[in-house]
Structure 1
Amino acid sequence: MAPDNFAGRNLIRSTTGTILSFHNKRMERVFVLGKTENTTLQQEIELESKRYMDIIQGNFIDSYRNLTYKLVFSLFWVNSFCNNAKFVIKMDDDIIINIPLVVPYLTEKLKTGKSVDVLECKTITENIPVRERNNKWFITLEEYPFTKFLPYCAGHSSIMSIDVVRKMYRASKNVPYLWLEDVYGSGFLSLLLKLDMLMPKFYVEPVLNGLYEMPCSLFYLNIFKNYNNSLEMWNTITRYEKRLNCSI
């Protein structure tokens, strides 16, 4: 999440962030930010952090090309301060998590002994580097000389077991930097670690597809970043919480 996106953080705090425990499973939420060179903005972030105690800030400028630094910093922080965690969900600010479905889904993995080497996401298996210089995702041959990317997780969200987080953090010390965070994290690191990516059948769908139906996907993507749609989706999730009947 961008440092100046106060509204986005407050939206999450007032929706999914209101639930700290579900089915006796404790949840912790943190917002990962980079640095800003705007001193007024930094002061506002520090006040926000003191108030909510849910912000961690790395020692790098927060920018699109520094997302890999943000990923590695997140892995470092979880590795250092989340000793009792079982799973970690990494998500962008345009994702709404379906807590009444996600928690039982992960609890079942614990019960059945399938809580190790978990890396679940929307998998991208066919993608090629962008070589057009004016494109946002332009990458030079020096940065990436190959004609195709390895399979990787779409950057908007992923589920990892805690052992995967720890192994990825250790592996990041030996993998050369690439600014494409999703390609680096779930592409390079998971290849080195010989991890298999899995995309559950009902992993993610657009918010507009699920606003008024039973919410049977683990995550909902607010493609247009419309806060009203996010609120409406959360209302749909909470409305069905007691009578959710989905098979994943």
Structure 2
Amino acid sequence: MDHLVRRKWLVLLKPLLSLSLVFASLLMIQKLKVAEKDGAGLKHGSEADWCGSQCFSFKKRVVKQRSPGSESSVLSDGQDAQRVANGTPAAWDAQLLNCSQDASVRSQDWFRRLDPRFHQFVLHRHCRYFPMLINHPEKCADGDAHLLMVVKSVIEQHDRRDAVRRTWGREHTAGGRKIITLFLLGSPATGKDAKNLQKLIEYEDRIYGDILQWDFMDTFFNLTLKEVNFLRWFDIYCAGVQFIFKGDDDVFVNTGNLLELIAFKVEERRDATLFVGDTISKAIPIRNRQSKYYIPKELYDKPYPAYVGGGGFLMSSQLARRLFVVSENLELYPIDDVFLGMCLQKLQLAPEMHPGFRTFGITKRRVSPMNSEPCFYRNLIVVHKLSARELLRMWSVVHDDHLISQADTHV
């Protein structure tokens, strides 16, 4: 009998202990939280649907009054006047309203034939800009940023963001050139523990202060939303930066080589329309339904313009502003790399190919010794497809002053 009673108590005790641990963890996190950064705007949304909590439209020429050092004081008077003259708001002025489906599309024959997995994208692709859940308008406030590192990530990939912060994404000044870093995120997709994930990302941001988050679902088809929302954010808050590197959170970036490339382009006076990376030319849409990049004929039925692999590319801020303007008049496309290529084509420009950008890895054979040879990483600019552990290890080896390449051993 005693044995049965003890067993019954154990059954009851386990959930109580679990609840106690949860509450204790929450209390500990609350005590450890640091003060929020000046100018950071956190806003909690309701349960997410396709486009996040809700979509919104912009109210033109609204200037929000902020305390010194926050959004209203980020731009100089001249810059602010120019933004207003162009119809661009001086702050991210999201006004909430329901973003309903474009019902007129349903009656069209091509939509009836369209693969159902693209229906939601087509029905909502007029939903372009979204409220910000986390913002850092102060990032470019001093106007001294030379290079802005912009990294696409999702909430669950904390280990990758941590590795980037400890390696190529570390904010610092090199040779008088200031480098700052931002991570671009959407909201957790349906079916995940959205509320707790959101609390975790807000806590992470209070520690590092380097996250921009919008209220749309972080899905593959919504990667283009990160492009257009970032371009608008840049035009409002960070127009003074000189160059932008944009990449994924699973790439290796040789920051020194990247800065050398920028210096060379400036010296040659070829930086105004700079857009360089791993260029893909004469590509056509993939029709294999099993492919991640599958595009049905009903959605797009002609060759792609030249574009660069989205794993990592470099562009000038002058061109980024032009891309923002032209992007507003283009229909969104579900592959973000190709969408930017379409924007470039509208500007009658083409991306520049550079052999130092390897956004498809060094070789397709993962077991190739080239993929683990540090000297290749030392001489390249961007290498794609590394885990967080691989990035940390390769960064350490490449920056070892005593590194001797395999080629040097065969003298």
Indicate the structure (1 or 2) with the bigger Cα radius of gyration.
Answer: 2
Q: Unaligned stretches of 5+ in structure 2?
A: 1-152, 364-369, 403-411
Partner residue of 2:249 out of 71, 93, 97: 93
- Tell me the equivalent position of 1:245: none
Which digits, 9 at most, give the CA deviation of each residue in 1:78-103, with x for residues without a partner? 22221321110000111111011111
CA distance in structure 2 between the aligned counterparts of 1:104 and 1:137, rounded to whole angstroms: 33
Instruction: Tell me, yes or no, if the aligned pair for 1:211 and 1:236 is still in contact at 8 Å.
Output: no
- Tell me the equivalent position of 1:217: 380
- Tell me the equivalent position of 2:41: none
Q: In structure 1, give the amino acid aligned to 2:163.
A: L
- Once the two structures are TM-superposed, the CA of residue 136 in structure 1 deviates from its matched residue by 1.9
Q: In structure 2, give the amino acid aligned to 1:167.
A: R
Are residue 235 (structure 1) and residue 391 (structure 2) matched? no
CA distance in structure 2 between the aligned counterparts of 1:104 and 1:25, rounded to whole angstroms: 12
CA distance in structure 2 between the aligned counterparts of 1:79 and 1:210, rounded to whole angstroms: 39
Q: 1:125 to 1:10 in 2, by over 3 A?
A: same
Q: In structure 2, give the amino acid aligned to 1:36.
A: P
TM-score by length of 1: 0.89
Q: In structure 1, give the amino acid aligned to 2:392.
A: L
- Once the two structures are TM-superposed, the CA of residue 168 in structure 1 deviates from its matched residue by 0.7
Count residues with an aligned counterpart.
239
CA distance in structure 2 between the aligned counterparts of 1:135 and 1:109, rounded to whole angstroms: 37
CA distance in structure 1 between the aligned counterparts of 2:398 and 2:317, rounded to whole angstroms: 26
- Tell me the equivalent position of 1:36: 188
Q: 1:53 to 1:125 in 2, by over 3 A?
A: same
- Once the two structures are TM-superposed, the CA of residue 210 in structure 1 deviates from its matched residue by 5.8
SS in 2 for 1:144: coil
Q: In structure 1, give the amino acid aligned to 2:400.
A: R
Q: Unaligned stretches of 5+ in structure 1?
A: 242-248
Are residue 172 (structure 1) and residue 327 (structure 2) matched? yes
CA RMSD, 1 decimal: 2.2
Are residue 25 (structure 1) and residue 186 (structure 2) matched? no
- Once the two structures are TM-superposed, the CA of residue 196 in structure 1 deviates from its matched residue by 2.4
Instruction: Tell me, yes or no, if the aligned pair for 1:23 and 1:103 is still in contact at 8 Å.
Output: no
Partner residue of 1:16 out of 147, 153, 168: 168
CA distance in structure 1 between the aligned counterparts of 2:372 and 2:261, rounded to whole angstroms: 19
- Once the two structures are TM-superposed, the CA of residue 194 in structure 1 deviates from its matched residue by 1.2
Q: In structure 2, give the amino acid aligned to 1:88.
A: I
- Once the two structures are TM-superposed, the CA of residue 240 in structure 1 deviates from its matched residue by 4.9
Instruction: Tell me, yes or no, if the aligned pair for 2:306 and 2:350 is still in contact at 8 Å.
Output: no
Are residue 82 (structure 1) and residue 253 (structure 2) matched? no
- Tell me the equivalent position of 2:157: 5
- Once the two structures are TM-superposed, the CA of residue 238 in structure 1 deviates from its matched residue by 2.1
Q: In structure 1, give the amino acid aligned to 2:323.
A: M
- Once the two structures are TM-superposed, the CA of residue 169 in structure 1 deviates from its matched residue by 0.8
Q: Which runs of 4+ in 1 moved over 4 A?
A: none
1:119-138 paired onto structure 2 within 5 Å: 119-138=275-294
Instruction: Tell me, yes or no, if the aligned pair for 1:132 and 1:138 is still in contact at 8 Å.
Output: yes
Which of structures 1 and 2 has the larger relative contact order (alpha carbons within 8 angstroms, sep 6+)? 1
Partner residue of 2:344 out of 184, 190, 212: 190
Partner residue of 1:116 out of 251, 259, 272: 272
What percentage of residue pairs aligned between the two structures are identical? 25
